């Protein structure tokens, strides 16, 4: 593995362009993003896109990261003239990672006829609530890879990221390829955790490996991680796959405190929490369902970096990269919806994204397939927070 040269170097602030026409919904959470409200754009029709995510709770790092990425994309798009002359506005609502609030936010957004889609809801139960609440509204890029949720008939859901089974398969294959077969798992006792466990069990069986230990935490948001950390430390696997999101950092710290020295691989939704550990994250790996935000060899990442910097964001992250990719896919669906743009034509437009190369990632939707990507890579945090892929 090699570090990308651009991971810590950024152009000077003089190169930044002013953000333009994004408009935030009235919400106290908007201030938490550190992004000012924008005035409504002039010109032809305004296309409004709703977002609901955690901007105040345990998943704030992931939620705000997604939004920064999608905001940067649409800001640059609007600066270039929008889509067929129409500007795109994001309407943000904070759900605090609470499914009932996610549902209420989705219903409120759906009441506005100018809102044509909901972008990157965050969390398994939250996404399920949103999809069910607004069946006539496209829900693009949900930030969850739970397989069971994808098996449920949801004609309005468009999955931009690979699923967790594919992520775990990639991590198990990575470990097995270098002879590391003492593998364990930690997961929460909830629908997310059950999905991860099923994927882990299937991947281990395919590679003919028996799990060394499987430990659980009470739930996705529970900080009660010490018992699971001690159980993993006692079993001493070579690799522990951390199927946790916002609580991943707390678990890793508890594992090290308990004397556990296993190599740690997280799933993608653990990345935001892990990066917040600073130097303690050195050597931690995780699966990523998008290109590395530092791998400027691809056109998609170069555009992402340029648009993030133009929006005033000097820090690149996996969550903002994913939000940016989600926005790319949604914009392509809007383009393919044609001149008679409405909620139904947007869903049809998204279904017409077949074999589309976004600049280094390919997406393939159809009327019978709403899972657009199978891309998964493995990244490891090197010295100084450099991302190795």
Which tens digits make up the pLDDT trace of 113-124?
Answer: 999 999 999 999
pLDDT value of position 73: 98
The CATH code of domain 164-288 reads 3.40.50.2300
Q: Are the C-beta atoms of 163 and 371 separated by less than 8 Å?
A: yes
Contact criterion met (CB below 8 Å) for 202 and 165: yes
Contacting residues for 361 by C-beta, under 8 A, at least 6 apart: 290, 291, 300, 325, 373, 375
CB 376 within 8 A of CB 170: yes
Positions of CATH 3.40.50.2300 in the chain:
5-162+293-374, 164-288
Reference 24, options 8, 35, 10; nearest CA is 35
- The pLDDT confidence band at residue 44, using thresholds 50, 70 and 90, is low
pTM of the full predicted structure?
0.82
Question: Residue 363: helix, strand or coil by DSSP?
Answer: strand
Q: Are 87 and 381 in contact, with CB atoms under 8 Å apart?
A: no
Confidence label for 246 from pLDDT (cuts 50, 70 and 90): confident
Range 13-50 burial, b when 16+ CB lie within 10 A, else e = eeeeeebbbbbbbebebbeebebeebeebeeeebbbbb
Cα angle at 115 between 109 and 116, to 5 degrees? 125
Has residue 21 got a pLDDT over 70? no
Query: Among 109, 105, 111, 116, which Cα is nearest to 46's?
Result: 116
Q: Identify any residues that bridge with 118 across adjacent strands, giving them in sequence order.
A: 50, 139
Q: For residues 187 and 197, give the distance between their C-alpha atoms in angstroms, rounded to a whole number.
A: 7
CATH classification number, 5-162+293-374, choose in 3.30.2320.50, 1.10.760.10, 3.40.50.2300, 3.40.50.970: 3.40.50.2300
Encoding tokens for residue 255? 């594992």
Q: What are 352-387's pLDDT values in tens digits?
A: 999 999 999 999 999 999 999 999 999 999 877 778
* Residue 341 DSSP SS3: coil
**Average pLDDT along the chain:** 88
């Amino acid at each position: 593995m090699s570090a990308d040269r651009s991971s810590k170097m950024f152009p000077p602030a003089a190169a930044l362009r002013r953000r333009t026409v994004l408009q935030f919904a009235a919400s106290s959470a908007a201030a938490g993003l550190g992004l000012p409200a924008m005035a409504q754009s002039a010109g032809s029709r305004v296309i409004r896109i709703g977002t609901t995510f955690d901007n105040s709770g345990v998943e704030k790092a992931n939620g705000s990261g997604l939004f920064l990425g999608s905001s940067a994309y649409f800001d640059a798009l609007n600066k270039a003239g929008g889509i067929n002359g129409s500007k795109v506005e994001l309407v943000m609502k904070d759900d605090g990672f609470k499914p009932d609030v996610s549902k209420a936010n989705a219903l409120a957004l759906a009441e506005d006829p100018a809102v044509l889609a909901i972008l990157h809801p965050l969390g398994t139960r939250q996404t399920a609530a949103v999809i069910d609440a607004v069946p006539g509204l496209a829900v693009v890029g949900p930030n969850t890879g739970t397989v069971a949720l994808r098996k449920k008939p949801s004609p309005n859901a468009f999955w931009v990221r690979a699923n967790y089974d594919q992520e775990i398969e990639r991590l198990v294959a990575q470990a097995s390829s270098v002879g590391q077969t003492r593998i364990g798992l930690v997961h929460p006792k909830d629908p997310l955790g059950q999905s991860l466990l099923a994927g882990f069990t299937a991947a281990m069986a395919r590679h003919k490996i028996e799990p060394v230990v499987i430990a659980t935490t009470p739930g996705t948001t529970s900080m009660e991680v010490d018992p699971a950390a001690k159980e993993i430390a006692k079993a001493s696997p070579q690799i522990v796959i951390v199927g946790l999101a916002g609580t991943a950092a707390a678990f890793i710290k508890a594992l090290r405190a308990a004397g556990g020295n296993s190599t740690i691989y997280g799933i993608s939704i653990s990345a935001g929490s892990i990066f917040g550990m600073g130097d303690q994250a050195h050597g931690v790996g995780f699966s990523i369902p998008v290109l590395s935000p530092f791998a400027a060899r691809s056109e998609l990442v170069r555009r992402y970096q340029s648009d993030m910097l133009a929006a005033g964001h000097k820090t690149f992250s996996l969550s903002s990269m994913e939000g940016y990719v989600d926005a790319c896919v949604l914009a392509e669906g809007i383009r393919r919806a044609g001149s008679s743009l409405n909620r139904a034509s947007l869903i049809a437009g998204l279904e017409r994204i077949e074999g589309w190369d976004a600049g280094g990632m390919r997406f393939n939707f159809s009327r019978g397939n709403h899972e657009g990507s199978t891309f998964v890579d493995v990244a490891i945090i090197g010295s100084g927070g450099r991302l190795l892929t």
